[in-house]
Amino acid sequence: MEEVELSDGDADRYLLDAKGLSLLVFHSRTCANCRIAREQLPAMSLQADRVCWIDAGTNGGLVARYEVFHLPAMYLVRDGVFYGAVEATLSDWDIRQKIRLQLDSYPAELP
């Protein structure tokens, strides 16, 4: 799975232009669960084309717009369309199931 680092300055354009499914993950360098997510998510057999990492400590604009209140926080974007938060544990079966559920919901514009 492709990994991409995004920031306040480039996230919107990248997500609008990216084809396929992007799993957007907010993380922090000081968060233990975030370190586990950084190690495990890329190796999971998810249906996402890429995982997009956003450092919550240095990208306050995105944190505010996505209303991130816990870390790691995952969101789903497909072909420039926002499908919302992926509320799942850090296990591949749970994330896969929640991604399927989110893709069945009504999409929205990027925050």
Domain spans in the chain, listed from the N-terminal domain onward: 2-103
Buried residues in 33-45 as b, exposed as e (16+ CB within 10 A): ebeebbeebeebe
Q: Output the six-digit token pair for 88.
A: 């799942």
pLDDT digits over 73-92, tens only? 999 999 999 999 999 999 99
CATH domain 2-103 topology: Glutaredoxin (3.40.30)
- Total residue count of the chain as it appears in this document: 111
57 CB burial (10 A radius; 0-12, 13-18, 19+): middle
pLDDT digits over 33-52, tens only? 999 999 999 999 999 999 99
Q: What is the dihedral of CA 28, 33, 35, 36, to 10 degrees?
A: -150
Distance from C-alpha of 70 to C-alpha of 74, rounded to nearest angstrom: 10
